[in-house]
Structures are given as C-alpha cells and as structure tokens.
Amino acid sequence: MSREDGTATSTLDEIRERLEEGAMSPMQWRAVAVAIGISIVDGYDVLSATFVIPVLQQEWGLEPSRLGAILASSLFGMALGSFLIAPLADLYGRRPLILAALGMAATGMLMAAHSSSLNALIICRAVTGLSVGTIMAVMSPVAAESTNKRRRALAISLIVIGFPIGGMLAGLTATLFFESFGWRIEFLVGAGLTAAMIPAVLLFLPEPLQSLLARAVPNRHARVNAMLQRLGHAPVDHLPPPVSRQRSYSAVFAPGQRAVTIWIATFQLILMQTVLFGGYWMPQIAASAGADTTTASLVGTIAIAAGIAGGLAFGSVTNTGNIYRMTMLTVLCLAIATAAIGLVPASPVMFIVVAAFHGIFGSASQAGFYTIVPSCFQPEARATGVGFVLGIARLGSATSPLIAGGLFSAGLDREVVCACFAAFALVAASMFLVQPPGAKTLK
C-alpha cells in the first residue's frame, strides 16, 4: 500500500517479496562480487597448507603422521567455526562477524608464516580454520539474502566455485615463488589477500536487509528504509516488530523445523562421501591403474578445472523454481560418473574424461546444496542452521577417505569401491523424493 508522500505500509512478507521479484541493483551485484572474492580467499587459506607440507617434510624432517596434523587442525577448526561462532551472526549481524573472522584469518595466516615449530603451525592453522569455517557458514545466508529469486542460484554458484579458484591460486603461488622466497611466502600472500577483503566488506557488503528485518537492531526503521532506497524500492512508514528472539539451536530444532534441519544435514553428509571420494582418490586410482605421476596429477587438476565449469553452468541454467529438480539431476549424474570411474578401461584419456565429469557434477551438486540450504531456515536462525549443517557435513566427510581406504585395503577392486560411493550419491538423490515440507522458498 502506497501513500502520497511516497512511503508505503508493508508487512515483512511484502518487503521480502519486493526483494525476491525486483531487479538486482548495482549494490547487490557489488555485494555478490565481494562474496566471490571472500570465497576465493577462503579457498586459498584452506588449501595453502597442502602445498607447504611437502617442503616442510624435507626442511623440518617430519613424519607423515605429524604432517597430517597440520591439515587436521584446520579442518577441526572449520567445524568448530561452523558450530560455535557462526550462530553469532544471527544475534549480532552477518557483516560484523565476517569482518571479525577475516581479521582472525589474516592473523592466523601471518602467524603461520612466522611459525618455527610444528605445534605453533598447528595452532595457527586451527585459528585460520576457525575463521574460514565461520565465514563459509555465514556467506551462504549473505549470498541468498543479497540476491533476488532469479539470480540467486547463479550468485551462489559463483561463490562456490570461488573456493577451488583460491586453491588454484595457492598452487600458482607455490609454483612461482617457493624457489625464490621459500614456503613462508605462501602464508604471507594469503594474509595479504585476506586482509585486503576487510576494506572491500566495509565499502561494498552491507548488512543484508533480511537480517535487519529479523533482528531488533538500533535505528531499525531508518536503516531498513535507507537500504530499501539504495535497492531502488520505496521506503515504508511502519515496520512490524522483529520475530521472537528464539536463538541458536533451539530455533534450528524447534517443532516444525527439526525435520528440515535433519533432512538437509543428512543429505549433505551423504553427498559429501561421493564428492570427496573423487577429489581424494582420483589421482591415486589413476596411478594404481598404471598412470605415471604426471598423468595422475593432471587427472586431479582436470577434475578441479571441470568443477569450476560445472558450478558456473549449474548457476546459469538454474533458478529457485527448479533448484530441487536440478540438484537431484546433478546428484544422479554424479552417481553415474562415480560408477564410471570404476568401469572405464585403465587408460590416461579415459581417466581424464571421467575425472572431468565427476568434477562437473560434484561441483554442480554442491552449488545446488548451497542454494538450497539457506531456504531451509528462517532469517533469524539462518546462520545458525547453515553453520550446523556445514559442521555436521565437515566432521562426517572425514569418513570418506577412511571408508575408501578401508575398502581398497580389503582387496576390493576399483569397480566395487566406485560402485559403493556411487550408491551414496543415489541415496542422496533419493532423499528429494521424501523431502519434508518447509524448505521450499527463501523466506
């Protein structure tokens, strides 16, 4: 309803409908660009250690088991960040938490560059993981809340593929600079890139309007109207009060919400078994089948590059109207690609082809998940819910390499092992047939 002075009276649902159906403003696109940049930096920060470890093994004379602690510390930190810190975004806002986490990540990377012992490096990597886990859990709601219905899948897909791009940049840094500057340059570059995102957030990533609507913030009415005007919408003369301050996990597991939370967490937990199987084991499978070291590495690189293309393609052809159907289709294709890894002849060309398909559909399925998961939770508990789901998936995904290793150690052929992991994807796809009510649209 509009008045002569240009203001309008609106319910919260009416304001959200404006955002869903309206065109994307330049401010929204700038926010998406910053989110993509943050995802690239996160990918760099997390994967940088994988390029440092071979050098540390020689320089510090460490056993492989001790080197594994460096990777495990960041993964453990990421899970804790998702579980414990991300929920604060529902209390204090998305933007302040992102800024704090970026500062902590930059500090962790800088400290890692100056580490002189294994224990110090493990602590620094845990700090970085804690920060990245927080950011990843909060960025998904930010991306969903900063976009309209038409462009949401594309924006989130671009953010998802930013992570492997960051990993590729970390590898490029190692290739270009390790010989001249040593392994510490890897973390110094990461610290600089992460710190550079802080002014970008301050300038171009405002607190999402849906977060302002959901919380009792100071000057709420004025801030909402200012944001509406920046988005090209008429201001409102009255705002309904924010929703009840039921917070944290009580909201995520409230009656009516509990089934949706368990459904989406279980879906991602099962799906990640198949996604990570390809990521962890494709080079090793190729090597075991007779490929040389160069070819085995190429197989892994092709899978990453294909994943970037797959995520972009998924976002280009998907919208919120067909997101569930498209995600189920990509997960089914992922199952086929995984089974094909075990069935193709042992030739370099065939391994490269199936690795590419696995990368495409693995990344596309993740783009689908990250588009769906914010819609499973109301704005006032969205960061908490997404953080819980990602934390569960991250802890559970550690079982993927263990399961595969156990199956191979038991003497099973790659055909059987790949069929087992294809079955995980089939189970994940079938979950869309028993999807609980409540996770249909972003509200």
pLDDT tens for residues 334-390? Answer: 999 999 999 988 888 898 899 999 999 999 999 999 999 998 998 888 999 999 999
Q: What is the pLDDT of residue 441?
A: 45
The tokens describing 417, both together, are: 């092992």
Average pLDDT over residues 178-184: 92
> Please, which pLDDT band fits residue 3 given cuts at 50, 70 and 90?
very low
Q: Kind and range of the H or E element at 238?
A: strand 236-238
Q: What is the C-alpha separation between 131 and 244, in angstroms, rounded?
A: 29
Highest mean pLDDT among 57-71, 100-114, 421-435: 100-114
Q: Which of 107-121, 291-305, 317-331, 349-363 has the weakest average pLDDT?
A: 291-305
Please give the mean pLDDT across all residues of the chain: 86
Question: Which residue did the predictor score with more confidence, 238 or 198?
Answer: 198
Residue 62 has pLDDT above 80, yes or no: no
Q: What is the pLDDT of residue 23?
A: 82
Report how far apart, in Å, the C-alpha atoms of 80 and of each of 61, 84, 131, 398 are.
Answer: 30, 6, 9, 14
Give 424's contacts (C-beta < 8 A, 6+ positions apart).
Answer: 270, 271, 273, 274, 277
Which class for 412: exposed (0-12), middle (13-18), buried (19 or more C-beta within 10 A)?
A: middle
Question: Which residue did the predictor score with more confidence, 411 or 439?
Answer: 411
Taking the CB of residue 259, how many other CB atoms lie within 10 A of it?
15
Report how far apart, in Å, the C-alpha atoms of 98 and of each of 35, 42, 90, 101, 200 are.
Answer: 10, 12, 12, 5, 11
Q: What is the C-alpha separation between 277 and 99, in angstroms, rounded?
A: 33
Q: Kind and range of the H or E element at 21?
A: helix 12-21
Q: What is the pLDDT of residue 57?
A: 80
Q: What is the pLDDT of residue 71?
A: 78
List, for residues 187-227, the tens digit of each pLDDT value: 999 999 999 999 999 999 999 888 888 887 888 888 888 88
Residue 156 has pLDDT above 60, yes or no: yes
Average pLDDT over residues 101-122: 96
Average pLDDT over residues 86-108: 95
Domains, the chain, in order of start with CATH, read 12-214 (1.20.1250.20), 248-434 (1.20.1250.20)
List, for residues 63-73, the tens digit of each pLDDT value: 766 777 887 88
Q: What is the C-alpha separation between 42 and 245, in angstroms, rounded?
A: 31
Q: What is the C-alpha separation between 435 and 438, in angstroms, rounded?
A: 9
Q: What is the pLDDT of residue 245?
A: 57
> Please, which pLDDT band fits residue 261 given cuts at 50, 70 and 90?
very high
Q: What is the pLDDT of residue 11?
A: 62
Question: Which residue did the predictor score with more confidence, 436 or 82?
Answer: 82
> Please, which pLDDT band fits residue 96 given cuts at 50, 70 and 90?
very high
Residue 79 has pLDDT above 70, yes or no: yes
Q: What is the C-alpha separation between 66 and 402, in angstroms, rounded?
A: 18
Residue 345 — left, alpha, or beta (φ > 0 → left; ψ -120 to 50 → alpha)? beta
Taking the CB of residue 226, how many other CB atoms lie within 10 A of it?
15
The tokens describing 394, both together, are: 């991250």
Q: What is the pLDDT of residue 68?
A: 74
Residue 6 has pLDDT above 50, yes or no: no
Highest mean pLDDT among 96-105, 257-266, 292-301: 96-105
> Please, which pLDDT band fits residue 51 given cuts at 50, 70 and 90?
confident
Q: Radius of gyration over alpha carbons of the chain, in Å? A: 22
> Please, which pLDDT band fits residue 1 given cuts at 50, 70 and 90?
very low
Q: What is the C-alpha separation between 431 and 435, in angstroms, rounded?
A: 6
Q: What is the C-alpha separation between 435 and 319, in angstroms, rounded?
A: 19
DSSP assignment of 172-208: HHHHHHHHHH-THHHHHHHHHHHHHHHHHHHHH-PPP
Residue 443 has pLDDT above 50, yes or no: no
Taking the CB of residue 181, how many other CB atoms lie within 10 A of it?
13
Question: Which residue did the predictor score with more confidence, 231 or 9?
Answer: 231
Residue 442 has pLDDT above 60, yes or no: no
Q: What is the pLDDT of residue 293?
A: 67
Residue 260 has pLDDT above 70, yes or no: yes
Q: Whole-prediction pTM value? A: 0.84
Report how far apart, in Å, the C-alpha atoms of 122 and of each of 71, 135, 391 are.
Answer: 8, 20, 20
Average pLDDT over residues 231-258: 78
